[in-house]
Amino acid sequence: MVVRKGIEVSGVVQGVGFRPHVYRLATERRLAGQIRNTPAGVDIEIQGESDVVEDFIARLSSEAPPLSRITDLHLRDLPSNGDVRFVIVESARGAAVQTLISPDVAVCDDCRRELLDPRDRRYRYPFINCTNCGPRFTIVRDIPYDRAYTSMARFTMCPDCQAEYDNPLDRRFHAQPNACWRCGPQLQLWDASGNPISSDDDDPIAEAAARLQAGEVVAVKGLGGFHLAVDATNSRAVDFLRERKGRVDKPFAVMVPDLATAEQLCEVDASARALLQQVQRPIVLLPRKPESLPEAVAPRNLDLGLFLPYTPLHHLLFAAGGFRALVMTSGNRSEEPIAIDNEEAVRCLRGIADSLLVHDRDILLRCDDSVVRSAGGAPRQMRRSRGYIPMPVFLNEALPPVLAVGGELKNTICLTKGRHAFLSQHIGDLENLGSYNFFEEAVEHLQRILEIEPRVIAYDLHPNYFSTRWALARDGVEKVGVQHHHAHVASCMAENGLDGKAKVIGFALDGTGYGTDGHIWGGEVLLADYVGFERAAHLAYVPMPGGEAAIREPWRMALSYLTHCGLKLEDLPSMARVEAKKAELVLRMLEKKVNCPLTSSCGRLFDAVAALLGVRETVNYEAQAAIELEMLARDSTDECPYCFALVEENEGVNEGWIIETQPLWQEMLADLKHKVPASAISRRFHLGLVAVLAEIASRLRQRTGVDRICLSGGSFNNLQLFERLQARLIEDAFQVFSHREVPAGDGGLSLGQAVVAARRC
């Protein structure tokens, strides 16, 4: 029996080879009908024998191209007609065709094979791509996703490329960045002043590789911006790059040619292996094997951030130089945004890069590398950026259009539309002027390509955040302030599709967030839903002597905590390293309560422990003390937790608990006196924190009956804390939710702000 069905497919189904896939399925089965792009995705009409049509529909999803993502599939019955062929109907010119834009994708196996095949017309062509791979998001100027609206617009396809582009059975059918040696973008090697360097054999890649081998710093234009590359096995070159970039201890990311090399350098388990090989090609944090690479790559760090090549150019560079590992760090000066434009790169990398490997395909949107790690077999995003953006987070209910502007550090923004929440790429620390401009660019660009006109702007309550001030200066939209830790918890709820009808217990642990009482929060237990929250418990307030200075100098927090608990600082070798005069000054500040904002920050507690332990008195990058403290604990098998005290809070509307640390310091000082190894002390501290948080969870469940727990905030990037607390809570029969797709830290804040504001407006 002949039937005709209509199939409406939504999701990421444009620009990812979906129409050729459908065309092939239909023509192979001699089915008739048509396919066309629609604002929501694609619409198919298919006609033939009913069992063949059914087989077609089944394979539509099961054999869908790798980059597509079907979010909805609706079937309808149609009257059959006289169609005998299957055709691709061109979308009407100018019609607003809007669907999900694909992120940038690592070069696929087919293209890699052609890249290395001397008989192929694209042999060694650094910009080879097809519908299954290549740049997307970073070359989009406007929608619809069509070559004319990308940075490929200036390259006119040669007849060979055009024929591929027009052939529905070709892998390059409607591959917008399609190009070859004859018609596409070209590479050039420039010297530090931007003058082309000509070499004998006119091979910029071979010349760049030779310079890297000689220990030079080469800036390499990638997908989302420039990298600064040096040979990672050459410690002098690595030191050189650190010096020139003004980057003291913060680890460098390292690109390795293949999985086998990654396994030589680091411990790679099955889930990490999968992460390394994802088409998104994130940087994956992995436990480093001893003496794998020079210490200077990641000083005093037990992990290495590794990633695999993702552009054809990367592959060619490794092949030309035979490198075992290349440092590939963001092409910028310390914390500025990554450079994307050739001239901009020459300007801002002057004095850092010796030469620049550039090309004439413009990057329209900067997009840093993403950073992930695997925790207990599940991925965790540290920085969600290239490869993942602009794929939305799928929500369990439709929301009005909201723009959430995020926090101050590791800023991202978020736009909601229906059941999609679009997080931006990593924007950075807004106190930096360059990042602030990038923030404004990103807001404008994302609104345009996603066609979202927000009715509401959500912002953090901190009056001095640049994002907050920007939001408050907007006219003609409703504005909703969202408390920082409430946003963390809501972000976790949204990612896990919780409906918000019942409250959750939210552990929001991080460094800094503005509290509703004007103090700096960060060790918070909230009883929350999307609309609001109660503060059920928090770390006791302690002064931060010198404010921001106490973040850069953890020893100040050690003094603050000991003073708060009435303990005398006995002659600890760790504190002896602090200048006596400075310590004296801080003690006086504490006594007189001058420039001592109050904080319940979990990050500052970690800082204080790290300083007392002699791990670190001052930090060179965010959370350095906490990270080094965590690593110490890995070596210990101690099972004896330090004690915290829970004190009933009398003031305030709701009854809650204050987490006091006095017993912790007493035990720790005794251990220090008895020369207990630092690793054991670190471990006992982590175990103690887990124990007191689990105790609070139990008491709260008793009081309220709530047994769902969300773990969010930057402190949960600490796996000693996250994995142990999660395991303990599951043991205690709680339902535990945390993050996978969205960062637990401030990079995920904007999602929480958006979903809260959407329910409050």
| 351 vs 256: CA distance, rounded Å | 26
Question: Is 674 exposed, middle or buried (CB count within 10 Å of its CB: 0-12, 13-18, 19+)?
Answer: exposed
CB nearer Fe ion, residue 104 or residue 746: 746
> What's at 24, amino acid-wise?
R
The residue ranges of DSSP E strands in 89-242, in sequence order, are: 187-191, 218-221, 226-231
| 459 vs 672: CA distance, rounded Å | 44
| 402-404/456-460 β-pairing | parallel
CB nearer Zn ion, residue 83 or residue 120: 120
| Phi, psi (rounded to 5 degrees) for 81 | -135, -165
Q: Which of 105, 108, 320, 557 is the binder for Zn ion (CB under 5 A)?
A: 108
Q: Which of 111, 275, 623, 659 is the binder for Zn ion (CB under 5 A)?
A: 111
User: If binding means CB under 5 A, how many residues of this protein chain bind Zn ion?
Assistant: 10
* CA 559 to each of CA 563, 566, 578, 675: distance values in angstroms, whole numbers, following the listed order: 6, 10, 11, 20
Alpha helices (H) along 431-567: 433-450, 466-472, 484-495, 549-552, 554-564
CB nearer Fe ion, residue 589 or residue 754: 754
CB nearer Fe ion, residue 45 or residue 622: 622
CA-derived radius of gyration, the chain: 28
CB of residue 392 to Zn ion, shortest distance in Å: 24
Nearest residue (beta carbon) to Fe ion = 510
16 binds Zn ion (CB under 5 A): no
Helix (H) or strand (E) holding 588, with range, is helix 580-592
CB of residue 132 to Zn ion, shortest distance in Å: 5
CB nearer Zn ion, residue 74 or residue 113: 113
- The tokens describing 665, both together, are 């310091």
CB of residue 742 to Fe ion, shortest distance in Å: 13
Return the ∠ at Cα 654 (arms to 650 and 659), rounded to 5°: 60
CB nearer Zn ion, residue 312 or residue 511: 312
Nearest to 184 by CA among 208, 210, 143, 150: 150
CB nearer Fe ion, residue 510 or residue 630: 510
158 binds Zn ion (CB under 5 A): yes
| Residue 236 binding: pick among Fe ion, Zn ion, none (C-beta 5-8 Å cut-off by kind) | none
CB 8 within 8 A of CB 45: no
CB nearer Fe ion, residue 99 or residue 512: 512
Q: Which of 57, 116, 153, 183 is the binder for Zn ion (CB under 5 A)?
A: 183
| Residue 305 binding: pick among Fe ion, Zn ion, none (C-beta 5-8 Å cut-off by kind) | none
Q: For 117-139, b where at least 16 C-beta lie within 10 A, e where not — what string?
A: eeeeebebbbbbbbbbbbbbbbb
Q: Which of residues 465-494 bind Zn ion (CB under 5 A)?
A: none
- The tokens describing 554, both together, are 């953890």
CB of residue 712 to Zn ion, shortest distance in Å: 37
Beta partners for 228? 219, 329
Given the rule CB under 5 A, which of 48-56, 157-165, 404-412, 533-541 is the region that contacts Zn ion? 157-165
CB of residue 512 to Fe ion, shortest distance in Å: 7
CB of residue 277 to Zn ion, shortest distance in Å: 15
Q: Rounded to the nearest 10 degrees, what angle do helices 204-213 and 312-321 cross at?
A: 60
Q: Which of 10, 132, 411, 720 is the binder for Zn ion (CB under 5 A)?
A: 132
Return the ∠ at Cα 669 (arms to 664 and 670), rounded to 5°: 100
| Residue 671 binding: pick among Zn ion, Fe ion, none (C-beta 5-8 Å cut-off by kind) | none
Given the rule CB under 5 A, which of 35-43, 129-137, 281-289, 702-710 is the region that contacts Zn ion? 129-137
| Residue 73 binding: pick among Zn ion, Fe ion, none (C-beta 5-8 Å cut-off by kind) | none
CB of residue 68 to Zn ion, shortest distance in Å: 14
Q: Rounded to the nearest 10 degrees, what angle do helices 624-633 and 719-731 cross at?
A: 60
CB of residue 33 to Zn ion, shortest distance in Å: 28
| 211 vs 357: CA distance, rounded Å | 11
The sign of the torsion formed by the CA atoms of 693, 696, 702, 704 equals negative
CB nearer Fe ion, residue 384 or residue 420: 384
Nearest to 31 by CA among 88, 85, 95, 108: 85
CB nearer Zn ion, residue 133 or residue 415: 133
CB nearer Zn ion, residue 180 or residue 415: 180
133 binds Zn ion (CB under 5 A): yes
Binding site for Fe ion (CB under 5 A): 510, 513, 746
**Any residues with CB less than 8 A from the CB of 734 and at least 6 apart, and which?**
505, 697, 701, 707, 708, 709
Q: Cis (ω within 30 of 0) for the bond into 401? A: no
161 binds Zn ion (CB under 5 A): yes
115 binds Zn ion (CB under 5 A): no
CB of residue 510 to Fe ion, shortest distance in Å: 4
The residue ranges of DSSP E strands in 79-159, in sequence order, are: 86-88
Q: Which of 22, 60, 130, 317 is the binder for Zn ion (CB under 5 A)?
A: 130
> What's at 407, amino acid-wise?
G
| Residue 583 binding: pick among Fe ion, Zn ion, none (C-beta 5-8 Å cut-off by kind) | none
Q: Which of residues 163-182 bind Zn ion (CB under 5 A)?
A: 180, 182
| Residue 746 binding: pick among Fe ion, Zn ion, none (C-beta 5-8 Å cut-off by kind) | Fe ion
**Position of tokens 């065709």?**
97
| Residue 510 binding: pick among Fe ion, Zn ion, none (C-beta 5-8 Å cut-off by kind) | Fe ion
| Residue 130 binding: pick among Zn ion, Fe ion, none (C-beta 5-8 Å cut-off by kind) | Zn ion
CB of residue 173 to Zn ion, shortest distance in Å: 12
CB nearer Zn ion, residue 312 or residue 392: 312
| 194 vs 356: CA distance, rounded Å | 8
Residues that bind Zn ion (CB under 5 A): 108, 111, 130, 132-133, 158, 161, 180, 182-183
